[in-house]
């Protein structure tokens, strides 16, 4: 099974940036505690501070589905739409390997 990379993008409504950041930060520690989590990090745009990107790595689609079913992700899903300009943009990818493997891994 090939690991999958998930990239999720979220942009806060005007005046709701801090609230969105708090919501996103709140799931980092419990996600890191999940046995199948290979990588999970949140990043803020340097050109639009209202925009955040989550970069995740999971062993496969099944592990991602289990992650999405956790209480902390369900709680996030229940409230995050209220602070977003548009729905979450979530995409999944498989990595193309080339070059220095140590520099090509998330």
CATH of the domain at 61: 3.30.70.100
Does 101 reside within a domain? no
- Tell whether 89 is covered by a domain: yes
Span 5-44, pLDDT tens digits: 999 999 999 999 999 999 999 999 999 999 999 999 999 9
Question: Is there a domain that residue 78 lies in?
Answer: yes
Any domain includes 63 = yes
80 within some domain: yes
Q: Which pairs with CB-CB distance under 8 Å and at least 24 residues apart come from 50-53?
A: 50/11, 50/12, 50/14, 50/17, 50/20, 50/85, 51/9, 51/10, 51/11, 51/12, 52/9, 52/10, 52/11, 52/12, 52/20, 52/21, 52/24, 53/7, 53/8, 53/9, 53/10
Average pLDDT on 93-97 reads 89
Note whether residue 103 is domain-resident: no
Domain count within the chain: 1
Domain of residue 89 covers 4-94
pTM above 0.85, yes or no: yes
């Amino acid at each position: 099974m090939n690991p999958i990379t998930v990239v999720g993008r979220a942009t806060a409504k005007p005046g709701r940036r801090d609230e969105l950041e708090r919501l996103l930060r709140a799931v980092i520690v419990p996600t890191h505690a999940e046995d199948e989590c290979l990588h999970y990090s949140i990043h803020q745009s340097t050109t639009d501070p209202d925009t955040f990107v989550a970069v995740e790595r999971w062993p496969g689609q099944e592990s991602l589905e289990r992650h999405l079913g956790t209480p902390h992700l369900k709680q996030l899903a229940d409230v995050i739409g209220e602070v977003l300009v548009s729905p979450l943009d979530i995409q999944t990818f498989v990595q193309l390997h080339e070059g220095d493997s140590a520099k090509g891994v998330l």
